[in-house]
Structure 1
């Protein structure tokens, strides 16, 4: 992972020191600033190139959720909080991970693995290219194009502004949101079954209350608001 700029915001001094000490164990993280309030952090975020936000939620005046709403251009947001009840709301704000205090280094290290994987995918992702023929798409990977047959695609998975195109052989990442991808004529056979997933109807083997099973036994989460899409 290339050097990533980060900011730490927490109104508790001990927690700020703890997170700072953890971050310093990772040489690829550069701390741009450590702040006791969102108000003090916001001007720096707006001025500097920030890659990662480590945010508390329960802070006076401007809280961590409100700060994120103002800084959605920052690729990675990690919440470190004593309030698990905010988890659902936080993930609606493009949150990569949600850590419950008291924070342990082992848990923080897991988060760092997720951050590295996300930034690596973001770095490697290339623009999706239009297909040639009705059942094939071409995906740019470096200086080459990879040919992918539509019937080989198991599912689509959203990753912020990117979409993973998953086959049995490989996971391809394209710079296109899953919503925009599903508008393409080539993906008309796919249906949205979750905020982050889309599948092809003909490959659905079993429909459960919380997930669906594909013909190859892969399990995909099923969102409540998307169940009507499965009426065959």
Structure 2
């Protein structure tokens, strides 16, 4: 994905540039110290992702974002937590509170939908939004199932179990594979051993998710905050 940085502090610019370079799937097109300069660039260049500081000279990041009729995906960066709610009202991908670690940076990047192609009308389409079915390698067979039929996926020792309303299938692929396969769809990793389809949730109570097949899935401590924040 092509990205830009809008950040007026050189130390923060250096950290973002290093993290972007370390990821490998991002291409940094330009770095700006104020939003006005970036505005001119966005009129001419296609950008998929924007790292936007809130406290900027001339015009704040929030005010700048409100002026864009069709903004790219946005990850806000700031040293102040007060603007988080307003940022999410503007449909930003994530909100990085400075100073942030590389791990936290990766978490933010993982939430950005992957853009793969343009449809006939020139609109951007998301790769996995087009997928209706997947094939699961189980033993010597490749079994086709509808993605919408998946309720949850559980890791168990050397295999994963894909659970639908009608059956359970065993796969040799790890959970990480299924997170990549289902990226951009309503699936969440809520525990080191579980991925759930959020459309199959019946209710959430404490640290348990009750699914429509009467299964209960635990929410891991490391996943709870991001899961609830994104879902609710």
Tell me the TM-score normalised to structure 2 length.
0.56
Provide the residue aligned with 1:59 in structure 2: 56
**Contact 1:78-1:95 at 8 Å conserved across structures:** yes
Secondary structure of 2:23 counterpart = coil
RMSD: 4.2
* Alignment partner, residue 128 of structure 2: 125
SS in 2 for 1:23: helix
Task: After superposition, give the CA deviation of every residue in 1:176-230 in whole Å (9 maximum; x if it has no partner).
Answer: 99xxxxxxxxxxxxxxxxxxx6558xxx3x565999633222479889xx9xxxx
Q: Please list, as runs of the form range in 1=range in 2, the aligned pairs for 1:72-221 lying within 5 A after superposition.
A: 73-115=70-112, 118-119=113-114, 123-127=126-130, 139=132, 148=146, 152=149, 154=151, 168=164, 204=202, 208=205, 213-214=210-211, 215-218=214-217
Number of aligned residue pairs: give it. Answer: 174
Cα shift readout 1:4-48 (whole Å, capped 9, x = no counterpart): 111100122221222122222233322221111111111111211
TM-score when normalising by structure 1: 0.56
Please name the residue that 1:11 is paired with.
8
Specify every segment of 5 or more residues in structure 2 that has no aligned partner in the other structure, as ranges.
Answer: 117-124, 136-143, 153-161, 170-177, 187-197, 220-226
Checking the alignment, whether the CA contact within 8 Å between 2:128 and 2:185 is kept in structure 1 is no
Q: Alpha carbons of 1:23 and 1:59: their partners in 2 closer, same or farther (altered >3 Å)?
A: same
Tell me, yes or no, if the aligned pair for 1:127 and 1:175 is still in contact at 8 Å.
no
Distance 1:26 1:199 in 2: 33
2:26 corresponds, among 5, 25, 29, to 29
Corresponding residue for 2:195?
A: none
Which ranges in structure 1 are unaligned for 5 or more consecutive residues? 129-138, 156-165, 178-196, 227-232
8 Å CA contact retained: 1:126, 1:173: no
| CA displacement 1:144-194 (0-9 Å, x = unmatched) | xx76497x4659xxxxxxxxxx974788979999xxxxxxxxxxxxxxxxx
Distance verdict in 2 for CA 1:149–1:54, change over 3 Å: closer
2:192 maps to what in 1? none
